[in-house]
Amino acid sequence: MASDLAAHNRAHFNQVASTYDKDLEEGLMSLTKAIIARRDWIGVDWNGPVKVLDYACGTGIISRALAPYATELIGVDISEEMVAQYNAHAGALGSDAAKMSAILGNLTDRDSPPLEQFADARYFNFDVIIVGMALHHMDDPTYALTRLGQRLKKGGVLFVIDNQSRHYPGEEDFHRLAGADVVKTVRHTGFTEGDLRVIFEEAGVNGNFDHVLLEEPIVIRPRGMKVELKLFFARGERV
Ligand SMILES: C[S@@+](CC[C@H](N)C(=O)[O-])C[C@H]1O[C@@H](n2cnc3c(N)ncnc32)[C@H](O)[C@@H]1O
């Protein structure tokens, strides 16, 4: 049975999937540039074959940033409309399904075990697993990264992009600006470096852990209001 949180996420992201890229265009462009600029920092040998799991992939903005450098990209998302958007973009890039495709699934929720198809070898032995702008939507980040980490090859990299924890109590969480339905999709407002060190360690993906704060804020405009997201990148290897 899907949890309430999973159901809220599925419903919300199904609703916004077709306008997601357009609504967040400015921010997603900056995020793409930041990922490409830190490609070497992720710590994968991009000259060899690189198999990527883009977990909670959405429309595939992160996969598209890394597609020129990766051998195979698999997206997984809880929203079928997001999966459809991802696959439409992959098709538009001219990628065949063997190189880049997404599938509906939930691999990180205690209440809904992954579908049997995720037991297939195709869904293991990743060089890098990315969780972009999605850990704050998950009930138990340690459980989520533990489950995902088990799908990495030994020494493979878990790469998380998410919101920095807020420094000032009065600082507004942008999800509140976006409305009550959006608030129901989140569990965490952000993570500190200290939070992440503990989560990565408990999940067994803390080899050569590193964390950077992005200097440039990522601008989004929920309901026309300008919001500057402060993001971090964190990475660790399966030990
Ligand atoms: C803010 S979007 C980020 C999408 C994409 N990673 C990006 O950076 O644009 C959050 C995504 O997480 C997905 N999601 C939320 N909870 C999930 C879960 N438990 N498992 C898989 N996907 C989930 C949502 O459907 C949505 O596509």
* Mean pLDDT along residues 169-182: 71
| 152 vs 52: CA distance, rounded Å | 9
pLDDT of residue 173: 73
> Ligand 1: which of 4, 133, 143, 187 to mutate, judged by most atoms within 8 Å of the beta carbon?
133
Cβ-contact 141, 149 below 8 angstroms: no
pLDDT at residue 7 is higher than 80? yes
Give the mean model confidence (pLDDT) for residues 219-229: 82
Name all residues whose Cβ lies below 6 A of ligand 1. Answer: 6, 9, 13, 56-58, 61-62, 77-79, 82, 106, 108-109, 132-134, 137-138
Q: What is the model's pLDDT at position 169? A: 54
Mean pLDDT of all residues belonging to the chain: 92
Q: Which residue's alpha carbon is nearest to atom 26 within ligand 1?
A: 58
Nearest residue (CA) to ligand 1, atom 1: 133
Confidence of residue 182 (pLDDT cuts 50, 70, 90): confident
Nearest atom (ligand 1) to Cα of 28: 9
Per-residue model confidence as pLDDT tens digits over 113-172: 777 899 999 999 999 999 999 999 999 999 999 999 999 999 999 999 999 987 655 566
114 versus 229: the higher-pLDDT residue is 229
Q: Report residue 169 as tokens.
A: 């109590």
Domains of the chain: 2-237 (3.40.50.150)
Distance (angstroms) between ligand 1 centre and the Cα of 204 equals 22
- Flag whether pLDDT at 202 surpasses 70: yes
The H or E element containing residue 147 is helix 141-149
% of the chain exceeding 90 in pLDDT: 77
Query: Percentage of residues in the chain with pLDDT exceeding 70?
Result: 96
| Predicted confidence (pLDDT) at residue 190 exceeds the cutoff of 90 | yes
Q: Does 194 score more than 70 pLDDT?
A: yes
Q: pTM for this structure?
A: 0.95
pLDDT at 221: 80
Distance 49 CA to ligand 1 centre (A): 26
What are the backbone angles phi and psi of residue 56, rounded to the nearest 5°?
Answer: 60, 50
Question: pLDDT tens for residues 74-119?
Answer: 999 999 999 999 999 999 998 888 899 999 999 998 887 777 899 9
Residue with tokens 């309430």: 4
Mean pLDDT to the nearest integer, 203-225: 90
Residue 15 tokens read as 């609703």
Q: How far apart are CA 128 and CA 192, in angstroms?
A: 22
Residue pair 212/233 in contact (Cβ under 8 Å)? The answer is: yes
**pLDDT tens digits, one per residue of 59-69:** 999 999 999 99
Q: What is the CA radius of gyration of the chain?
A: 16
Residue with tokens 């400015």: 26
Give the distance (Å) from ligand 1 centre to CA of residue 20: 12
The pLDDT score that the predictor gives to residue 193 is 97
CA of 12, closest atom in ligand 1: 25
- Residue position matching structure tokens 């807020």: 166
